[in-house]
Chain A
Amino acid sequence: MLNSIVSEDTSGGFNMMRLRTLFYLWLLMIICMSSLARAASIEAVRRSVFKISVISQPAQFNQPWLFYSPRSSSGTGFYIGQNRIITNAHVVSNATFITVTQDGSDRSLEAEVKFIAHDCDLAILQVKAGEALKNLTPLELGGMPRLRRPVSTIGYPTGGDQLSITDGIVSRVGFRRYVHSNADNHLLVQVDSAINPGNSGGPVVQAGKVVGVAFQTQTNAENTGYIIPTPVIRRFLKDVEDNVYDGHPLDGFEVEENIMENAGARAYYGLPRDKSGVLVTYVYEYGPSYGKLLPGDVLVSVDGQPIGIDGSIIFHDERVSFRVIFDLRQMGDVVEYGVLRKGKMMTVKVTAAPARPHYSQAKVYSVRPRFYVYAGMVFTALSQNYLLNWGREWYFRAPLLLRFIHSNQAFLTRFSEARDIILLIAKLDAPVNSYVEMDDDLVVDMVDSKQITSLDQLKTILENPRNPFQVIDFWQKDTPLIIDAKSAKDQDKTIKQRYRIEPTEWLHDERKL
């Protein structure tokens, strides 16, 4: 029939050729418009994106009175209003000097950290000369990034000085480890565009709005980048409304997933066929769930959402660990768990509280390690930072006893309540200690038969000897270290001077998130 139309009337009126031409023109217009639209939306946001230049100086955890030489690094940040630039915590960690340069500007402005959240790798900077940011358009936060939709990452990746925009697709949503603190899991979104160092802290934009902050790359995989999605950013911004960062709440219990696949376990706990859930296996004493949830409870729902056998819930159309709900709460919020306890269904309410375990497994920043030196013996507290002296693969290469305690301390009664897990890490040679044999696994257990749980206590005991000899026992080691109390006292100051130890100790409570 079309053919007949064409052959019937070739002189004007409805014409197939013209139809085809019109179609192609229309297609061309759509393409131009969408890329123009995208370009236009990028144009609108780019002026709110900053390059951040940082000079940083981390402390040396194995020579704890020293810092490393200053080093320079850079990242990206963007304006969110009220004189605030948001970026990643790791961009500005251990910073001694920060400057920010607006896209299109020729000058850099000094900035300082207003809030920093190491547990979720976010930070807010404020420019010292406030006026310069007045004519900026704050970037708007959007919703959760949509899977399989395109996003643009804007920033200053290494390999050039200009603003760069990379496009990619949102590929995966999960509840995964944030490597900055390397101890906590939060909601995490994966994109398939290249995110390089330098991009960190930059906005990830979808339909003109920010849906995430670019921040991690997977070292083994190519074309994999990770972004902090909006729910985590919003939680952070809400948290600091009261001018104090409280941090992500810890739910404080362990669960066993997949156990309800087993018919025997189901029968034992009385979980009906049509229900699913995970088994609570351990509740930490420091946590908000202690006394509320019990080992042996089966969690079937969280805030009304059913929990799957693998511990997942449906979160924005994707299956993610049920823990994401509690993780996105503020301190003081109440979370309701549907619990099957001894065959009966009940509701348990847990209030998010700023409770922390005694020992933090997290990497720390902008703090000095706690340490104490006496008679040339250098004592410090165990931390992930100390273990990192053995490199990226410290979980294999660091001394066995130390990495074992680091991973299991919650279950080791000797250390579960300790303020410091004290290590003797070095000896500054002097006559009083010349026969002391050093090792890489010296964990202080007792001094003069008294169990030591903090460096402060160690200092008090060592500096106030009751006997002519002081005996230090190490955990899981047979041989004690004997010190001549008088020689130690006499030589202590001289040793510190000779080795230029300054400060001679650091016992401040500077645990930050």
Chain B
Amino acid sequence: MNANYKFLFAFLLLLLPVDGRAAAASATRSEDPNSAIVKITATVQTPDFDSPWKFNRSQTTEHMGIVVAPNRVLVTARAVGYATMLTLERFGLDHKVPMVVDTVDYAVNLALLKPMAETLNWNPKPMVVADEMDLEDKPTLYAAGRQRPTPISGFVRDYTLRQSGTSSYSIPFYSMEVRSTSGLGWSEPVILSGKLAGIAAGQSQNTIYVIPPKIIRHFLTDALSGNYRGFGRLGFNYKRLVDPTMQRYYGLKEGQSGVLITDVSEQSPFWDTVKVGDILTQVDHTPITINGYYKHKKWGYVDFVDKIVDYSVGDDLTLNLLRQGEVVTVSAVMTRYLHTDDYIHKYRYEDEPYVVFGGLVFQELSQGYLEAWGADWAQKAPAELLFMWQYNNKMKKDKSKKVIVLGKVLADSFNQGYQQLADAVVSSINGQPVESLDNVKEAFMKPETSASQSDAGGLATIKFAWESDMIILGYKGVAEAHSRMQKTYGLSGNTHFVTPPPAKTY
């Protein structure tokens, strides 16, 4: 071969992209039609908790999304909560693709989207999920730019358990330090060595909280299998056993370690086998320290709850306990935790349920309801409601049990005399305890009667948990009242009125 050709050949060889980083870079540049990083726009309508038949003005929120499988895009669940429309856009192109939710799990704050029309009309190479990151790793977070994702560098500085952001379930998060967090925390992918090492789901000061690969992998595997099982929850409250006095009292001997179980939820798979006062010493044969940590291969000491997210619903989990000095081993099958399982949950992320009877608006107590009192709702909301939310919020065996409040009374001649009542926890209607909106409907269907009141058409009596005031309403005229209210208050035909059948036997 001629020397010039050799030179040219060598030169061409050098131009071949060889190292992984360059490959990753080309995968993320929007000019590359195969880019797996996309923009997801959500049109969001949150319910007006003050008037639950209405929605607040719709807002548009922008998130990043990552193609993780053919025709499947990963985002945080927060992106899809209360969304009426989801649109995918590829960077640099104006084409909008309508998307729908394939799988969403608010417990772990992750969602998988798919195109409304069966397939996306382009095939980017799906992003592969990386291994776990290490302290001081330097991944790149890709935020929304105009024509292309903007790379933001940072480093990983912590691995801690936090609430997922869309439920009370705790999952591990990386803390990633970046120079400026402004506008970040909206599903941005965090890439290390060309692979997906996390998805950003919140921020605080200089820190971005990143959902780690193991949660993503667990979620994806389940979602793509077609049979989503979800994440299990231990359902314990526990206390670190660092106090030597407490150690002696609970029988923790020299060389032993564990945490003190202080509460077992009615929905815990271990609710009938683990007792308050037990010391949890091992989870699946992994020892737990008195601080509640276990030895993580990369991170040293990590909160033991980190191990629980490795288990799927349906998996067996074995715990070792110390009960008054005796070793006890228990096993149970992990059960699903849903974001609405809490007695007073954060948000439903779907239509907010309610029931209206004669202008009385009944709703579920939730954090969303409390947030109607504004930014300092945790101080300004009524103390009785805050008390229930903070101190009386243990999960019930029967997941349908909720705290029902009379939100307000829509003033009408029908309910005169009661129009100042609002935000009151309902204890009973017509003598029947009220623990769900279904109970409310059923109870109204059974009016109390009184011999002298036959012309009132039967009576509804409503009593409250923290108020000595009560409501007594005659049923007569309730249907007409509902028609009037539809006009006066602009309630739609879909409003959930409870109208008992016309009086026959009352």
Q: Which residues of A contact B (CB under 8 A)?
A: 254, 256, 258-265, 267-268, 270, 281-282, 309, 343, 395-397, 400-401, 403-404, 407-408, 411, 435-436, 469, 471, 476, 478-479, 482-484, 487
CA–CA, A258 to B416, complex, Å? 8
Nearest CB in chain B to that of A395: its residue: B383
Chain A residues with Cβ below 8 Å from B456 are 263-264, 267-268
Chain A residues with Cβ below 8 Å from B376 are 396
CA–CA, A303 to B82, complex, Å? 59
Output the least CB separation between A252 and chain B (Å).
13
* B262 adjacent to chain A (CB < 8 Å): yes
* B469 adjacent to chain A (CB < 8 Å): yes
Output the least CB separation between B399 and chain A (Å).
21
- Are the CB atoms of B453 and A435 closer together than 8 Å? no
- Are the CB atoms of A281 and B470 closer together than 8 Å? yes
CA–CA, A364 to B240, complex, Å? 40
Chain A residues with Cβ below 8 Å from B459 are 264, 268
3 tightest A-B contacts by CB?
A264-B474, A435-B243, A262-B417
Proximity bits, B272-313, A CB within 8 Å = 1, else 0: 000010000000000000000000000000000000000000
Interface stretch of the complex, out of B176-184, B215-223, B245-253: B245-253
* B466 adjacent to chain A (CB < 8 Å): yes
CA–CA, A309 to B245, complex, Å? 61
Chain B residues with Cβ below 8 Å from A268 are 450, 453, 456, 459, 472, 474
CA–CA, A512 to B18, complex, Å? 87
* B44 adjacent to chain A (CB < 8 Å): no
CA–CA, A282 to B418, complex, Å? 17
Interface stretch of the complex, out of B165-173, B332-340, B385-393: B385-393
CA–CA, A75 to B316, complex, Å? 76
* B136 adjacent to chain A (CB < 8 Å): no
Partner of A404 from the list B384, B420, B470 (CB cut-off 8 Å) is B384
* B263 adjacent to chain A (CB < 8 Å): yes
Chain B residues with Cβ below 8 Å from A484 are 245, 248
- Are the CB atoms of A267 and B245 closer together than 8 Å? no
Partner of A265 from the list B242, B249, B387, B417 (CB cut-off 8 Å) is B417
- Are the CB atoms of B245 and A258 closer together than 8 Å? no
* B227 adjacent to chain A (CB < 8 Å): no
- Are the CB atoms of B262 and A479 closer together than 8 Å? yes
CA–CA, A151 to B380, complex, Å? 40
- Are the CB atoms of A256 and B244 closer together than 8 Å? no
- Are the CB atoms of B391 and A478 closer together than 8 Å? no
* B348 adjacent to chain A (CB < 8 Å): no
Contact A258 to B383, CB < 8 A, known contacts A264-B473, A469-B245, A478-B263: no
- Are the CB atoms of B245 and A435 closer together than 8 Å? yes
Proximity bits, B346-382, A CB within 8 Å = 1, else 0: 0000000000000000000000000000001001100
* B4 adjacent to chain A (CB < 8 Å): no
Given contact pairs A408-B383, A469-B249, a sample of 19 additional A-B residue pairs in the complex whose CB atoms are under 8 Å apart: A254-B468, A258-B420, A262-B473, A263-B456, A264-B473, A267-B453, A268-B474, A396-B376, A396-B380, A400-B383, A400-B390, A401-B391, A469-B245, A469-B248, A476-B392, A478-B262, A483-B245, A484-B245, A487-B245
CA–CA, A83 to B252, complex, Å? 72
CA–CA, A343 to B450, complex, Å? 12
- Are the CB atoms of A476 and B391 closer together than 8 Å? yes
CA–CA, A411 to B468, complex, Å? 9
Chain A residues with Cβ below 8 Å from B390 are 400-401
* B324 adjacent to chain A (CB < 8 Å): no
Q: 7 pairs across A/B with beta carbons < 8 Å?
A: A256-B469, A401-B387, A401-B391, A404-B384, A435-B243, A471-B249, A482-B243
CA–CA, A397 to B386, complex, Å? 13
* B56 adjacent to chain A (CB < 8 Å): no
Proximity bits, B101-127, A CB within 8 Å = 1, else 0: 000000000000000000000000000
CA–CA, A396 to B380, complex, Å? 6
* B2 adjacent to chain A (CB < 8 Å): no
Contact A264 to B469, CB < 8 A, known contacts A435-B244, A478-B237: no
Output the least CB separation between A269 and chain B (Å).
8
Output the least CB separation between A88 and chain B (Å).
31
Partner of A259 from the list B245, B249, B262, B417 (CB cut-off 8 Å) is B417
Nearest CB in chain A to that of B467: its residue: A281
* B455 adjacent to chain A (CB < 8 Å): yes
Output the least CB separation between B135 and chain A (Å).
28
CA–CA, A456 to B387, complex, Å? 28
Partner of A281 from the list B379, B384, B468, B473 (CB cut-off 8 Å) is B468
Contact A256 to B470, CB < 8 A, known contacts A478-B237, A483-B245: yes
CA–CA, A254 to B416, complex, Å? 20
Partner of B452 from the list A270, A407, A471, A478 (CB cut-off 8 Å) is A270
* B29 adjacent to chain A (CB < 8 Å): no
Contact A264 to B472, CB < 8 A, known contacts A270-B452, A411-B466, A435-B243: yes
- Are the CB atoms of B387 and A404 closer together than 8 Å? yes
Chain B residues with Cβ below 8 Å from A396 are 376, 379-380
Nearest CB in chain B to that of A270: its residue: B452
In residues 205-239 of chain B, which contact A (Cβ within 8 Å)?
237, 239
In residues 440-484 of chain B, which contact A (Cβ within 8 Å)?
450, 452-453, 455-456, 459, 466, 468-470, 472-474, 476
Output the least CB separation between B491 and chain A (Å).
21
Contact A259 to B472, CB < 8 A, known contacts A267-B455, A471-B249, A482-B245: yes
Contact A482 to B415, CB < 8 A, known contacts A267-B456, A281-B468, A407-B383: no
- Are the CB atoms of B246 and A482 closer together than 8 Å? yes
Output the least CB separation between A58 and chain B (Å).
26
Chain A residues with Cβ below 8 Å from B237 are 478
Chain B residues with Cβ below 8 Å from A258 are 417-418, 420
Chain B residues with Cβ below 8 Å from A404 are 383-384, 386-387
- Are the CB atoms of B384 and A408 closer together than 8 Å? yes
Output the least CB separation between A359 and chain B (Å).
16
Contact A265 to B472, CB < 8 A, known contacts A435-B244, A478-B263, A482-B246: yes
- Are the CB atoms of B474 and A263 closer together than 8 Å? yes
CA–CA, A469 to B473, complex, Å? 56
Output the least CB separation between B480 and chain A (Å).
13
CA–CA, A281 to B469, complex, Å? 6
CA–CA, A463 to B27, complex, Å? 73
Nearest CB in chain B to that of A407: its residue: B383
CA–CA, A302 to B384, complex, Å? 33
Nearest CB in chain A to that of B263: its residue: A478
Nearest CB in chain B to that of A397: its residue: B379
Output the least CB separation between B262 and chain A (Å).
4
Contact A482 to B470, CB < 8 A, known contacts A265-B417, A400-B386: no
Output the least CB separation between A255 and chain B (Å).
9
CA–CA, A490 to B279, complex, Å? 29
CA–CA, A268 to B476, complex, Å? 13
Chain A residues with Cβ below 8 Å from B418 are 258-259, 262
Chain B residues with Cβ below 8 Å from A260 are 417
Output the least CB separation between B444 and chain A (Å).
14
CA–CA, A396 to B382, complex, Å? 9
Partner of A403 from the list B383, B472, B476 (CB cut-off 8 Å) is B383
CA–CA, A259 to B421, complex, Å? 11
Partner of B246 from the list A403, A407, A411, A435 (CB cut-off 8 Å) is A435
- Are the CB atoms of A482 and B239 closer together than 8 Å? no
Output the least CB separation between B405 and chain A (Å).
16
Contact A479 to B387, CB < 8 A, known contacts A258-B420, A265-B417, A270-B452: no
CA–CA, A436 to B244, complex, Å? 11
Nearest CB in chain A to that of B416: its residue: A261
Chain B residues with Cβ below 8 Å from A264 are 453, 456, 459, 472-474, 476
Chain A residues with Cβ below 8 Å from B453 are 264, 267-268
CA–CA, A401 to B476, complex, Å? 42
Nearest CB in chain B to that of A401: its residue: B391
Nearest CB in chain A to that of B415: its residue: A262
CA–CA, A244 to B105, complex, Å? 69
Output the least CB separation between A484 and chain B (Å).
5
- Between A281, A408, A435, A469, the greatest number of chain B beta carbons within 10 A of the residue's beta carbon is seen for A435
Nearest CB in chain A to that of B250: its residue: A482
Output the least CB separation between A99 and chain B (Å).
43
